Amino acid sequence: MQGKLFLIVGPSGSGKGTVIKKMKAKYIGFIYPISYTTRDPREGEVDGDVYHFISRDKFQEMIDAGEFLEYATVHETDFYGTSKKDIMDGLSQGNVVMREVDIQGFNSIKEIIPEENLVSIFMKVVGEEDLKKRILMRGEMSDAELARRMESTLKEIAQADKCKYQVENKWGEITACVANVEKIILDEIKDIY
Ligand code: 5GP
Protein backbone atom coordinates (compact mmCIF):
# COMPACT_ATOMS: atom_id res chain seq x y z
CA MET A 1 0.00 0.00 0.00
CA GLN A 2 1.47 3.36 -0.99
CA GLY A 3 -1.04 6.10 -0.26
CA LYS A 4 -1.67 8.00 2.97
CA LEU A 5 -4.90 8.28 4.88
CA PHE A 6 -5.34 11.53 6.83
CA LEU A 7 -7.97 11.22 9.51
CA ILE A 8 -9.29 14.46 10.95
CA VAL A 9 -10.53 13.64 14.43
CA GLY A 10 -12.15 15.74 17.16
CA PRO A 11 -15.48 16.68 18.66
CA SER A 12 -18.47 18.00 16.74
CA GLY A 13 -18.04 21.66 15.95
CA SER A 14 -14.24 21.55 16.26
CA GLY A 15 -13.78 22.61 12.64
CA LYS A 16 -13.11 19.23 10.99
CA GLY A 17 -15.65 19.85 8.25
CA THR A 18 -14.26 23.31 7.50
CA VAL A 19 -10.71 21.99 7.29
CA ILE A 20 -11.74 19.31 4.81
CA LYS A 21 -13.85 21.72 2.76
CA LYS A 22 -10.86 24.07 2.40
CA MET A 23 -8.51 21.24 1.48
CA LYS A 24 -11.03 19.88 -1.03
CA ALA A 25 -11.21 23.25 -2.76
CA LYS A 26 -7.42 23.60 -2.94
CA TYR A 27 -6.15 20.04 -3.44
CA ILE A 28 -8.42 18.56 -6.06
CA GLY A 29 -6.15 15.57 -6.61
CA PHE A 30 -6.76 14.16 -3.12
CA ILE A 31 -9.54 11.66 -2.46
CA TYR A 32 -12.33 12.72 -0.06
CA PRO A 33 -14.49 9.65 0.58
CA ILE A 34 -18.16 10.13 1.35
CA SER A 35 -19.34 8.38 4.51
CA TYR A 36 -22.74 6.84 5.20
CA THR A 37 -25.03 7.96 7.99
CA THR A 38 -28.52 7.22 9.27
CA ARG A 39 -29.01 10.75 10.59
CA ASP A 40 -31.26 13.20 8.75
CA PRO A 41 -29.61 15.83 6.57
CA ARG A 42 -29.34 19.26 8.18
CA GLU A 43 -30.46 22.36 6.33
CA GLY A 44 -28.24 22.94 3.31
CA GLU A 45 -26.64 19.48 3.38
CA VAL A 46 -26.68 17.68 0.05
CA ASP A 47 -26.71 13.91 -0.28
CA GLY A 48 -23.42 12.69 -1.75
CA ASP A 49 -21.36 15.68 -0.65
CA VAL A 50 -20.05 14.73 2.82
CA TYR A 51 -22.51 11.91 3.49
CA HIS A 52 -24.82 9.48 1.82
CA PHE A 53 -27.96 9.70 3.96
CA ILE A 54 -29.41 6.21 4.22
CA SER A 55 -32.00 4.30 6.25
CA ARG A 56 -31.16 2.05 9.20
CA ASP A 57 -32.17 -0.98 7.13
CA LYS A 58 -29.81 -0.03 4.33
CA PHE A 59 -27.04 0.66 6.87
CA GLN A 60 -27.58 -2.80 8.38
CA GLU A 61 -27.43 -4.37 4.90
CA MET A 62 -24.10 -2.66 4.32
CA ILE A 63 -22.78 -3.91 7.68
CA ASP A 64 -23.87 -7.46 6.79
CA ALA A 65 -22.21 -7.19 3.38
CA GLY A 66 -18.93 -6.09 5.02
CA GLU A 67 -18.89 -2.80 3.13
CA PHE A 68 -17.60 -0.65 6.00
CA LEU A 69 -13.99 -0.16 6.95
CA GLU A 70 -15.42 0.94 10.31
CA TYR A 71 -18.76 2.11 11.62
CA ALA A 72 -19.90 3.56 14.92
CA THR A 73 -22.88 4.93 16.79
CA VAL A 74 -22.16 8.59 17.43
CA HIS A 75 -23.73 10.55 20.33
CA GLU A 76 -25.62 7.31 21.10
CA THR A 77 -28.11 7.99 18.32
CA ASP A 78 -27.13 7.50 14.69
CA PHE A 79 -24.81 5.27 12.73
CA TYR A 80 -21.86 6.59 10.74
CA GLY A 81 -19.58 4.46 8.58
CA THR A 82 -16.70 4.81 6.14
CA SER A 83 -16.70 2.84 2.89
CA LYS A 84 -14.02 0.16 2.82
CA LYS A 85 -13.82 0.26 -0.99
CA ASP A 86 -13.39 4.04 -1.29
CA ILE A 87 -10.59 4.17 1.26
CA MET A 88 -8.73 0.98 0.33
CA ASP A 89 -8.88 1.69 -3.43
CA GLY A 90 -7.62 5.22 -2.82
CA LEU A 91 -4.70 3.98 -0.75
CA SER A 92 -3.73 1.08 -2.98
CA GLN A 93 -3.63 3.46 -5.94
CA GLY A 94 -1.16 5.62 -4.00
CA ASN A 95 -3.47 8.57 -3.28
CA VAL A 96 -3.77 11.01 -0.42
CA VAL A 97 -7.11 10.22 1.18
CA MET A 98 -8.77 12.53 3.73
CA ARG A 99 -11.79 11.90 5.94
CA GLU A 100 -13.22 13.15 9.21
CA VAL A 101 -14.31 10.52 11.73
CA ASP A 102 -15.12 10.47 15.42
CA ILE A 103 -12.65 8.99 17.90
CA GLN A 104 -14.28 5.53 17.67
CA GLY A 105 -13.72 5.55 13.92
CA PHE A 106 -10.07 6.45 14.46
CA ASN A 107 -9.64 3.72 17.09
CA SER A 108 -11.01 1.12 14.66
CA ILE A 109 -9.09 2.31 11.61
CA LYS A 110 -5.73 2.38 13.39
CA GLU A 111 -6.12 -1.37 13.96
CA ILE A 112 -6.58 -1.93 10.21
CA ILE A 113 -4.42 0.56 8.29
CA PRO A 114 -0.63 0.22 8.72
CA GLU A 115 1.00 3.02 10.74
CA GLU A 116 3.09 4.21 7.78
CA ASN A 117 -0.07 4.84 5.76
CA LEU A 118 -2.02 6.63 8.48
CA VAL A 119 -1.79 10.18 9.80
CA SER A 120 -4.22 11.33 12.48
CA ILE A 121 -4.84 14.97 13.34
CA PHE A 122 -6.93 15.84 16.39
CA MET A 123 -8.72 19.18 16.32
CA LYS A 124 -8.56 20.48 19.86
CA VAL A 125 -10.98 22.88 21.47
CA VAL A 126 -9.97 24.25 24.85
CA GLY A 127 -12.44 25.37 27.52
CA GLU A 128 -15.95 24.19 28.39
CA GLU A 129 -17.62 27.47 27.32
CA ASP A 130 -16.08 27.25 23.86
CA LEU A 131 -17.14 23.60 23.60
CA LYS A 132 -20.68 24.39 24.61
CA LYS A 133 -20.90 27.18 22.00
CA ARG A 134 -19.68 24.80 19.32
CA ILE A 135 -22.16 22.08 20.24
CA LEU A 136 -24.98 24.64 20.15
CA MET A 137 -23.89 25.76 16.66
CA ARG A 138 -25.35 22.42 15.50
CA GLY A 139 -28.81 23.76 16.27
CA GLU A 140 -31.39 24.00 19.03
CA MET A 141 -31.34 21.16 21.53
CA SER A 142 -32.72 20.29 24.95
CA ASP A 143 -30.57 20.60 28.08
CA ALA A 144 -30.48 16.80 28.25
CA GLU A 145 -29.21 16.56 24.67
CA LEU A 146 -26.60 19.25 25.36
CA ALA A 147 -25.45 17.40 28.47
CA ARG A 148 -25.21 14.10 26.53
CA ARG A 149 -23.18 15.72 23.75
CA MET A 150 -20.97 17.51 26.25
CA GLU A 151 -20.22 14.21 27.95
CA SER A 152 -19.29 12.42 24.71
CA THR A 153 -17.22 15.44 23.66
CA LEU A 154 -15.20 15.41 26.90
CA LYS A 155 -14.63 11.65 26.51
CA GLU A 156 -13.40 12.30 22.98
CA ILE A 157 -11.01 15.06 24.05
CA ALA A 158 -9.55 12.81 26.74
CA GLN A 159 -8.24 10.59 23.93
CA ALA A 160 -6.66 13.40 21.88
CA ASP A 161 -3.10 12.30 22.54
CA LYS A 162 -3.69 8.99 20.76
CA CYS A 163 -3.48 11.00 17.53
CA LYS A 164 -0.16 11.77 15.88
CA TYR A 165 -0.85 15.52 15.76
CA GLN A 166 -3.04 17.92 17.70
CA VAL A 167 -4.09 21.28 16.30
CA GLU A 168 -5.92 23.79 18.43
CA ASN A 169 -8.87 25.59 16.86
CA LYS A 170 -9.24 28.81 18.85
CA TRP A 171 -12.57 30.60 18.55
CA GLY A 172 -12.41 32.95 15.54
CA GLU A 173 -9.08 31.56 14.31
CA ILE A 174 -10.14 28.88 11.85
CA THR A 175 -7.89 30.27 9.09
CA ALA A 176 -4.78 29.74 11.21
CA CYS A 177 -6.04 26.32 12.18
CA VAL A 178 -6.56 25.28 8.54
CA ALA A 179 -3.06 26.56 7.71
CA ASN A 180 -1.59 24.43 10.51
CA VAL A 181 -3.36 21.30 9.27
CA GLU A 182 -2.25 22.03 5.70
CA LYS A 183 1.37 22.38 6.86
CA ILE A 184 1.22 18.97 8.56
CA ILE A 185 -0.22 17.35 5.45
CA LEU A 186 2.31 18.88 3.07
CA ASP A 187 5.13 17.90 5.39
CA GLU A 188 3.82 14.31 5.66
CA ILE A 189 3.65 13.86 1.88
CA LYS A 190 6.79 15.73 0.83
CA ASP A 191 8.90 12.60 0.47
CA ILE A 192 6.38 10.58 -1.46
CA TYR A 193 4.82 13.01 -3.93
P1 5GP B 1 -22.17 15.20 12.26
O2 5GP B 1 -23.48 14.52 12.49
O3 5GP B 1 -21.99 16.40 13.14
O4 5GP B 1 -21.90 15.46 10.80
O5 5GP B 1 -21.04 14.15 12.72
C6 5GP B 1 -21.06 13.60 14.00
C7 5GP B 1 -19.73 12.93 14.26
O8 5GP B 1 -19.57 11.77 13.39
C9 5GP B 1 -18.53 13.82 13.96
O10 5GP B 1 -17.59 13.63 14.98
C11 5GP B 1 -18.00 13.29 12.64
O12 5GP B 1 -16.63 13.51 12.46
C13 5GP B 1 -18.27 11.82 12.81
N14 5GP B 1 -18.23 11.08 11.55
C15 5GP B 1 -18.47 11.53 10.29
N16 5GP B 1 -18.32 10.53 9.39
C17 5GP B 1 -17.96 9.44 10.09
C18 5GP B 1 -17.64 8.10 9.73
O19 5GP B 1 -17.68 7.70 8.57
N20 5GP B 1 -17.31 7.25 10.75
C21 5GP B 1 -17.27 7.65 12.05
N22 5GP B 1 -16.90 6.76 12.98
N23 5GP B 1 -17.56 8.91 12.43
C24 5GP B 1 -17.90 9.78 11.47
| pTM of the model as a whole | 0.94
Say which amino acid occupies 27.
Answer: Y
Distance CA 55, CA 133 (A): 30
Amino acid at 174: I
Atom of ligand 1 nearest to the CA of 104: 22
CA 29 to centroid of ligand 1, rounded, Å: 23
Q: How far apart are the first and last CA of the chain?
A: 14
Question: 193 pLDDT exceeds 70?
Answer: no
Give the ligand 1 atom nearest the CA of 138. Answer: 3
What digits encode the pLDDT tens for the residues 35-66?
Answer: 999 999 988 999 999 999 999 999 999 999 99
Q: Which of 101, 112, 141, 153 to mutate to test the pocket of ligand 1 (most atoms within 8 A of CB)?
A: 101
CB of 20 within 6 A of ligand 1: the answer is no
Band the pLDDT of 24: cuts 50, 70, 90: very high
Mean pLDDT on 89-108: 97
| CB 105 less than 6 A from any atom of ligand 1 | yes
Residue ranges of domains in the chain, CATH in brackets: 4-189 (3.40.50.300)
Average pLDDT of the segment spanning 123-139: 88
Among 55, 53, 54, 44, smallest CA distance to 21 is for 44
CA–CA gap between residue 113 and residue 180 (Å, rounded): 24
Helices (H) and strands (E) in the chain, counts: 7, 8
Residues 6 or more apart whose CB falls under 8 angstroms from that of 114 comprise 1
